[in-house]
Chain A
Amino acid sequence: MDAKRWLALAAGKAAISISRRLGRGGSAFPGELARRLDPDVLAKLARDLPQGTILITGTNGKTTTARMVAKMLELAGFRVAHNRSGANMISGITTALVQAASLWSLNGDGRAADHDIGLAEVDEATVPRAARELRPRLILVTNFFRDQLDRYGELRHVAALVAAGIGALGAVPTQGGAGYAPAAILNADDPLVAGLAGAGGAGTGVFFYGIADRALGNAAGIQAADARHCVLCGESYIYDTVFYAHLGHYRCPSCGHRRPDPQVALVKAESRGLAGWFLCVATPAGEVEALLPAPGLHNVYNALAAVAAASTLGIPLAAIRQGLEGYAAAFGRMEVIPIRGRQVCVALVKNPVAFNQMLRTVMNEPLRQRPAAIGQAAVPGAGADDAPRDVHAADEQAPVGAGPTGRCLLTVINDRAADGKDVSWLWDVDFEQLVPRAGEFAFIHAAGIRAEEMALRLKYAGFPAGRLAVRKDIGEALAAAIAATPPGRMLWVLPTYTALLEVREVIHRWGFAPHFWEV
């Protein structure tokens, strides 16, 4: 018996249990404690997982993709150890495996009996270390967008970190078996990601996923300068189709580097508005048709990435389809929470690409619709002092469509370390797209530490000042925005990362949302 491992596990588990009882998420501290007691604890726990570990990284879509993969694996009968809370630094990943590992029941061969496979979403800068300790069998990369330059540095540097992780992939031994051949699963439509294909060793497989259906794209050209230039020779790419940002069908006129043909390809997609998408995905094992209950083209990419991972693992097509159809958004990833008859949709916006995608989704909300049948049942704690007061109480009996209508949007911008201390990225968001349709907005409220910067950005975009309001305190701003939203309508809440945590606290204090570790 490994006393250090046992002690680290026991202490980590105790810390998890205590921090929960204190009502805190505590995703990092238990893992830190366990690592202090046994620096190899994560490597040991990962080795104990009989089916190995899957590592998911990239700028956007890690949490959503990992949730979809988890669902598919569970439907296929795997017991999954997963950092569901989204704590994706080394300590958070350790916490998740500490929580999943069993303290007492080991198999005869010393392996954990209660989980089959590990699933870790990993912060880009943590990839080299996580890859070393987890020894994953798959590394899936979603995309590389400009994000928090003050923290990660330039995009090429981020790509190099992930390349180092892929380069460190090796055959994963299994007990008595031949082991798993390692593989990288890459987004063919992102030249910076597809460019990682050569990063692995000779024994590392490479699988691509991408959108084949060109009806989803346009030839309008790319806005962001993230990946304008060929990763091999530096010449400007020619894009035959752009889906969004620098994702599309590209080729280099100079050296011939081009988008690789993906093994997992989106053949067809039909938007069902806010209800999501109908997708038809080709995989080596056959086609999958599914209704994906998540709107936005970015979620199509998340779904494709998940299908590619599951398909590489040999998950049956039925489980893949059910996994897509049964996907439930995590808090802050467009989960809709009914509050006082309004639908509050909270979606993390941490960089320009994510923000642009969400603005597009907001603009696609049908303006006159029947309110969804959502519960107005008494909710415990809903009477808290700072809970939203209902200025529209009289409207609730009114016919649908009466009273003020229009899009309702609350932005919550913080500039703490985890948000990026540099808010200049707001100026790379395409708020100008809102201006021709500014009349469709009931309001845009700005909250958070840098609310004033957001208001300034909207002013210079040309958004009418009369529909803008700044209210820095997040609780007050959320209550006011809910009150200003007509019953039955959607309030879009778009926070940065630490702002999302505060929004969650406020909503939880009112008694409406689960804590994220219970999800």
Chain B
Amino acid sequence: MEVRICYLYPEMMSLYGDRGNVLALVRRAEWRGIAVVVEEVGVGEATDFSRYDIAFVGGGQDREQALIAEDFARRKREDLLAAVEEGLPLLAVCGGYQLLGRFYRTADGQELPGVGLFDAWTVAGAPRLIGNVVVESDLFPEGPRTIVGFENHAGRTYLGAGAKPLGRVVVGHGNNGEDGWEGAVYKNAVGTYLHGPLLPKNPALADWLLRAALARRYGREDAEAALARLDDAIEEEAHRAAIRRAQETAANGAVRRSV
């Protein structure tokens, strides 16, 4: 078995330890004896997304993000949309999440077009929304689970009818600090503001992406058989520590919502 990962814009869009997300996918596949290929795709390179099993894009600084937005529109948009439409698992974090929405409206009212993968749009705002986040998500077939991470964004993202949220904010701000939702899900594509990086201390989400990837290529049964249970003691410890820390820091002034 093999998983082919497309790491989009690794040079420019890896602001908050985002490499750790790719590393988590790689390790968790390798530990199960699944071969992994990571291909890095940068600005100016056209890509056939149907060749991949998972795509990842992280967050960047403002200047890089403007370059990426243009590159997405010019070279990758149609192909990526088609691949996600037929089930390509994708994770987009922070700036990458914003770029995959319909548009980003800057502080002076200008609308920068996005890829339009998620029925979501983002409006620049102040102050920045910064801090630990705990989300409760219904993404997983086995029942609701917490997802933990750290957010740091000025944009406020709002979801249209065509996007489901990744989950409900328990601690932190989430998409916009107003409606209590965090992230977006469309088919097997997940967008979120949570970095940290996200996947190492949310192994269930990492495995959700791997499961979708393997099921798409090898069928559901073989995917289940290949994804043997791992010893996630250290992962679960880090996950619990992040929840504890979010609750402690929330007590010191951050937003906290009741579920």
A interface residue numbers (CB < 8 A to B): 149-150, 153-156, 225, 228-229, 234, 415, 421-428, 449-453, 455-457, 459-460, 462, 465, 470
Contacts and interface: CB of A to CB of B under 8 A. Distances in A.
B238 A455 contact: yes
Given A225-B14, A428-B17, A452 B238 contact: yes
Contact of A450 (B14, B62, B245): B245
A457 B64 CA distance: 27
A465 B27 CA distance: 14
Contacts of B223: none
B251 interface: no
B245 A424 contact: no
Given A149-B16, A453-B201, A459 B234 contact: yes
Interface string B1-25: 0000000000110111111100110
30 contacts: A154-B62, A155-B61, A156-B61, A225-B11, A228-B11, A234-B63, A415-B245, A421-B130, A421-B132, A421-B150, A422-B16, A422-B150, A422-B152, A424-B17, A424-B20, A424-B196, A425-B17, A427-B19, A428-B19, A450-B245, A453-B201, A453-B238, A455-B237, A456-B201, A456-B234, A456-B235, A457-B20, A457-B200, A459-B234, A470-B237
Contacts of A421: 130-132, 150, 249
A426 B17 contact: yes
Given A422-B130, A422-B195, A460-B200, 14 more contacts: A155-B61, A225-B11, A234-B63, A421-B131, A421-B132, A421-B249, A424-B17, A427-B17, A427-B18, A427-B197, A455-B237, A457-B20, A457-B200, A462-B27
Given A154-B61, A225-B14, A460 B130 contact: no
B63 A156 contact: yes
A234 B20 CA distance: 27
B13 to A, nearest CB: 9
B37 interface: no
A428 B128 CA distance: 23
A452 B61 contact: no
B241 interface: yes
Nearest to B197: A427
Nearest to A426: B17
B241 A149 contact: no
B202 to A, nearest CB: 11
A88 to B, nearest CB: 22
B15 A149 contact: yes
B234 A465 contact: yes
Contacts of A460: 20, 23-24, 27, 200
B233 to A, nearest CB: 9
Contacts of B240: 452
A243 to B, nearest CB: 20
Contacts of B64: 225
Contacts of B12: 225, 228
B245 A150 contact: no
B54 to A, nearest CB: 17
Contacts of A453: 201, 238, 241-242
Contacts of A470: 237
Contacts of A234: 63, 67
A450 B246 CA distance: 12
Contact of A424 (B62, B195, B249): B195
A424 B150 contact: yes
Contact of A452 (B11, B150, B241): B241
Contacts of A149: 15-16, 152
Contact of A150 (B61, B152, B234, B235): B152
A470 B67 CA distance: 42
Contacts of B131: 150, 421
A451 B241 CA distance: 9
A505 to B, nearest CB: 21
Interface string B190-202: 0000011100110
Contacts of A422: 16, 130, 150, 152, 195-196
B166 to A, nearest CB: 18
Interface in B16-44: 16-20, 23-24, 27
